[in-house]
């Protein structure tokens, strides 16, 4: 579901997926201009509620762009998060709408009531209702045509509420939607629940609108989030982690205290080494760590974009989810939604399908092949079916080739009729010859279903046994659905004609 998007704002065009570094107006470590120069930042995020506290009328008088000293696109959050963290804010929903309307950020956010992960269902329901009511009210209050508005989805861990929230807010006039409440899930590595939350929201939102995932700025989980269809990310992580002496990488988080080497190619890491950084004055150390953290995060964004273009995002997600077992768990949960994801997966791609471990059998391409074979396929009317286990590229010498339909069983796809062998991605797949249990299971199952559906179309069924260790499993699968299966030992008949 990963996608490259163009978002046109009052201060310029943005390519998505992208990362918005969060600017704390009271403590600017790196200015937005510096960020644009260093990392190619396109969009920054700040908090209208905090701006109101620090700058008051000044911000409405001069506008947010002059306050931050930045003429590029700016998004403001509303103080919703402060409600979750501190139990409330000293501003009304109407006030913060009007304040943003006048301050004129490129994207503004209504004051939602975040559900979080702790409340009872009753309370969670209230947060969703309040958020939707405020979203309706905000549509009436808005008057600045330059501002695009973000309507957050709430509901927390209650999928039915998340679905309802997404449906209701999706009906309203909003340009962008955000998914609320992942922060607590991210802090605790609760990726299974994060996947449920994001996919449920995506299933119920208008798909053409960009989706922002609040608080998700760790390079380790960006690929997974983009693959779920999220377009915008905000990162306060770069600075929060830096203050804690934590060093972000796409493979996980390290502590400066534990590092002997920097596993990174950014200028900070090339010009320094951990020992040197540890002895720097704290402020300088924080700034350098923050710069490194942003470099790796933007690096990952660029990588993800490139991989989307190449059609290789899925393989990258498989790799990234090796960073932590909980992330792998989350990815495996995503595989349970392949049915939904398959609708968005391009039918052809520029790239070879690389099999890269057990989760590859859960890819949308594999599901699509299975489905189409079951729903759209019609075997040619020939009396004999010849089943050939994988990798034997040579066509066996058959006595009546014109009367025989050859199908190969090629993991991870399973049955591939000869006439479809060049169709993407069946003929553009690379997989290790030694099969893992997931491949054997799906391929065997595919053959069983094929025979169940189409076995009756043939008078005779031959199975070539080429002594791959999974042949037994194939024979068993065949015997369970068709009678009088003829097994042909391929090693005995090579170069001989079969009667």
Q: Tell me how long the chain is.
A: 499
Query: Which residues are tagged catalytic?
Result: 77
Closest by CA position to 111, among listed 163, 59, 48, 26: 48
The dihedral formed by the CA atoms of 124, 127, 132 and 137, expressed in degrees to the nearest 10: 170
| 121 contacts: CB under 8 Å, gap ≥ 6 | 158, 161
The site partner of 180 among Zn ion, ligand GUN, none (C-beta below 5 to 8 Å per kind) is ligand GUN
Number of residues forming the site for ligand GUN (CB under 6 A): 13
Q: Does 292 bind Zn ion (CB under 5 A)?
A: yes
Residue 233 or 470 having the CB closest to ligand GUN:
233
Smallest separation (angstroms) from ligand GUN to the CB of 79: 7
Q: Does 80 bind ligand GUN (CB under 6 A)?
A: yes
The site partner of 364 among ligand GUN, Zn ion, none (C-beta below 5 to 8 Å per kind) is none
Rounded CA Rg of the chain:
28
Q: Does 109 bind ligand GUN (CB under 6 A)?
A: yes
CA 212, CA 452: separation in Å to the nearest integer? 45
The site partner of 214 among Zn ion, ligand GUN, none (C-beta below 5 to 8 Å per kind) is ligand GUN
Going by their DSSP bridges, the two strands 12-16 and 18-21 should be labelled as unpaired
Packing angle between helix 159-171 and helix 121-141, nearest 10 degrees? 10
Choosing from 21, 25, 73, 114, the residue that interacts with ligand GUN (CB under 6 A) is 114
CA 434, CA 72: separation in Å to the nearest integer? 53
Choosing from 266, 277, 382, 475, the residue that interacts with Zn ion (CB under 5 A) is 266
Q: Which of residues 245-284 bind ligand GUN (CB under 6 A)?
A: none
Residue 77 or 365 having the CB closest to ligand GUN:
77
Q: Does 396 bind ligand GUN (CB under 6 A)?
A: no
Q: Which of residues 166-185 bind ligand GUN (CB under 6 A)?
A: 180-181, 183
Smallest separation (angstroms) from ligand GUN to the CB of 84: 6
Per the rule left: phi > 0, alpha: psi between -120 and 50, beta: everything else, 74 is beta
The one segment of 137-145, 165-173, 267-275, 439-447 that binds Zn ion by CB under 5 A = 267-275
| Backbone phi and psi for residue 415, each to the nearest 5 degrees, phi listed first | -70, 125
Going by their DSSP bridges, the two strands 18-21 and 232-235 should be labelled as parallel
Closest by CA position to 144, among listed 107, 97, 104, 91: 104
The site partner of 269 among Zn ion, ligand GUN, none (C-beta below 5 to 8 Å per kind) is Zn ion
At 234, list the tokens: 């905000």
Residue 201 or 242 having the CB closest to Zn ion:
242
Tell me which residue has its CB nearest to ligand GUN.
80
Residue 371 sits at the vertex; the CA angle it makes with 367 and 375, to the nearest 5 degrees, is 175
The site partner of 414 among ligand GUN, Zn ion, none (C-beta below 5 to 8 Å per kind) is none
Q: Does 49 bind ligand GUN (CB under 6 A)?
A: no
Q: Residue numbers of the site for Zn ion (CB under 5 A)?
A: 264, 266, 268-269, 292
């Amino acid at each position: 579901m990963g996608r490259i998007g163009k978002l046109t704002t009052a201060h310029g065009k943005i390519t998505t997926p992208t990362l918005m570094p969060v600017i704390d107006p009271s403590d600017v470590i790196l200015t937005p201009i510096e960020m644009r120069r260093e990392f190619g930042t396109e969009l920054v995020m700040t908090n209208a509620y905090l701006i109101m506290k620090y700058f008051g009328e000044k911000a409405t008088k001069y506008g947010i762009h002059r306050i931050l000293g930045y003429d590029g696109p700016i998004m403001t959050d509303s103080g919703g998060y402060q409600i979750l963290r501190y139990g409330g804010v000293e501003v009304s929903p109407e006030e913060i709408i009007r304040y943003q309307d006048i301050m004129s950020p490129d994207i503004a956010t209504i004051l939602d009531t975040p559900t979080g992960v702790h409340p009872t269902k009753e309370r969670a329901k209230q947060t969703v209702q309040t958020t939707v009511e405020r979203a309706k009210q905000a549509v009436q209050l808005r008057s600045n045509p330059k501002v695009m508005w973000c309507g957050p989805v709430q509901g927390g861990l209650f999928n039915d509420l998340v679905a309802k929230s997404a449906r209701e807010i999706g009906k309203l006039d909003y340009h962008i939607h955000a998914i609320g409440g992942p922060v607590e899930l991210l802090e605790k590595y609760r990726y299974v629940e994060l996947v449920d939350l994001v996919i449920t929201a995506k299933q119920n939102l208008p798909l053409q609108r960009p989706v922002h995932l609040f608080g998700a700025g760790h390079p380790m989980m960006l690929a997974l989030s983009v693959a779920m269809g999220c377009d915008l990310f905000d990162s306060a992580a770069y600075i929060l982690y830096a203050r804690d002496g934590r060093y972000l990488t796409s493979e996980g988080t390290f502590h400066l205290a534990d590092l002997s080497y920097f596993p990174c190619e950014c200028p900070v890491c090339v010009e320094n080494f951990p020992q040197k950084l540890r002895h720097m004055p704290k402020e300088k150390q924080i700034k350098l760590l923050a710069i490194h953290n942003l470099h790796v995060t933007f690096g990952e964004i660029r990588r993800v974009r490139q991989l989307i273009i190449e059609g290789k995002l899925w393989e990258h997600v498989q790799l990234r989810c090796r960073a932590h077992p909980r992330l792998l768990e989350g990815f495996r949960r995503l595989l349970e939604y392949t049915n939904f994801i398959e609708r968005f997966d391009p039918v052809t791609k520029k790239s070879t399908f690389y099999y890269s471990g057990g989760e590859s059998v859960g890819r949308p391409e594999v599901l699509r092949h299975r489905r189409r074979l079951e729903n759209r396929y019609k075997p040619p009317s020939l009396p004999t079916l010849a089943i050939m286990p994988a990798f034997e590229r040579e066509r066996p010498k058959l006595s009546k080739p014109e009367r025989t339909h050859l199908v190969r069983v090629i993991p991870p796809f399973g049955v591939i009729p000869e006439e479809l062998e060049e169709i993407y991605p069946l003929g553009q797949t690379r997989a290790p010859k030694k099969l893992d249990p997931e491949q054997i299971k799906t391929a065997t199952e595919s053959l069983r279903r094929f025979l169940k559906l189409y076995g009756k179309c043939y008078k005779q069924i031959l199975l070539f046994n080429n002594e791959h260790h999974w042949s037994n499993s194939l024979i068993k699968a065949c015997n369970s659905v068709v009678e009088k299966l003829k097994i042909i030992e391929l090693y005995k008949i090579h170069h001989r004609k079969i009667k």
